[in-house]
Amino acid sequence: MSLLIKMRTLVCHPALRAARDDTRAYKTYILIGVLVWLIMASCLGAQDKRVSLDLDQADLVQTIKLMAQLLKVNVMISPMVSGVATLHLVDATPLSAFETLLASQKLAKQVMGNVWLIAPRTELIVEAEQAAKLRDTAEIATPLTTQIWQAQYAKAEEIAKLLHDDRAGLLSKRGSVEVDARTNIIVIHDLPDVVKSASQIIARLDVPVKQVHIAARLVSVECDFERELGLHFVHAGRGAHSMSVATLKEQALLDIRLSALEKRGHARLISSPSLFTADQQTASIEAGEEIPYQEVSEIGGTAAVFKKAVLGLQVTPQTLPHHQVMLHMRINQDRPSNRMIQGVPAISTRQITTHALVKNGETIVLGGIYETDQAEETEQIPFINRIPLFGKILGETQSRYNKRELLIFVTPNVATEQ
């Protein structure tokens, strides 16, 4: 809905004008339609409506007052504001129309609580400069105070960098912050109000970081028996570097199923590391071997050097509200290759990065890393297998290929504060 305001300057009858003080400007009469429109706008909540302005030599002060009533704001108009306004706007918001009116008259508004001060721009600039000079004078006259803060959990140097940051605008021109890294002490020397604000900021920063317990299990499971674990994977990514992700809530039931598969020889527990890490700090888990090789030095000597071929898992937990934890995980599988490059064993590498949101205490299962084992099974008749030629003829050798999937179980638990 668009509302139209039309305002014109009407000159009083000469006889009436002569009866008034010559030093006062004659009044501007507003059309009755404007008053009717103002009542309608107030009832309809005009701040959400569109308005059109058609001002022709309308009294500026009266127009500002009307617009303020439309916007339902309190205004204080400077005595320097005077004159008339001519403006034509179509289908504008009340606020943009008001600001356009001020801009056309080189006026500006200064918000002071719930009151808008309307004054010429130059007047507001001069007042702002004078206020800044008064503040500077008051700061110079105010004696500085010093406070020493012993940081308990955070690094004093990091807190000092934040306090020194010019973008924060915390310290005054006379203020300073010093750090004693040996004792982790922060010394603030500034105005009393600034020191008080800085102390409040330090109190918010110097808090213990949440500790997260990461429990991981690396299990190799035969693909034919994977479904017996009751996992429902969601595939993330495409191609050879895709990964399967599943969440698990019934931890006890999983333990029973894994134990049963291990007893039957269809699953093998590779590693079950458990460690603590701070919130948003990376925890690393590795399982594998180091391959030794000889390296020739520049002076012709040789030395034994080791190259890692491990299955690595890096987990960075991030605690979130509502008992949730965001896990940033990177998995790399390094295997020794049959190739040798200038005497150095080649390592085939596969790396996957993923992010998962889980509840505190919930287990996430990562899959998608496969390996194939080849084994030869030979069946022979006792004693006859020792007879040349007959042992091979009567015996039987079969090659068996076994495809296994590496499953990684990660369970975060946020340590509760004592």
DSSP letter, residue 30: P
Categorize the per-residue pLDDT at 317 as very low, low, confident or very high, splitting at 50, 70 and 90: very high
- Torsion angle, CA of 101/103/108/113, rounded to 10 degrees? 50
Q: What angle do CA 176, 178, 183 make, to 5 degrees?
A: 160
Instruction: Give the DSSP letter string of 89-152.
Output: EEEE-HHHHHHHHHHHTTEEEEEETTEEEEEEHHHHHHHHHHHHHHHHHHHHHSPPEEEEEE-S
- Region 351-363: mean pLDDT is 86
CA distance 264 to 203: 57
Q: What is the mean pLDDT of the chain?
A: 77
Residue-level pLDDT at 22:
44
Residue 385 Cα distances to 135, 391, 394, 395, angstroms? 104, 4, 8, 7
Least confident of 167-171, 261-265, 411-415: 167-171
- Region 29-39: mean pLDDT is 44
For the stretch 212-229, pLDDT in tens is 999 888 888 887 776 777
| Chain centroid offset of residue 203 CA | 22
For the stretch 136-176, pLDDT in tens is 777 777 888 999 999 998 899 999 988 887 676 788 888 88
CA distance 236 to 245: 7
- Region 285-302: mean pLDDT is 73
* pTM score: 0.54
CA distance 257 to 254: 5
Report whether 215 contacts 413 (CB < 8 A). yes
Sketch out the chain's domains with CATH numbers. Answer: 52-137 (3.30.1370.120), 143-205 (3.30.1370.120), 215-230+259-415 (no CATH)
- In angstroms, the first-to-last Cα distance of the chain is 60
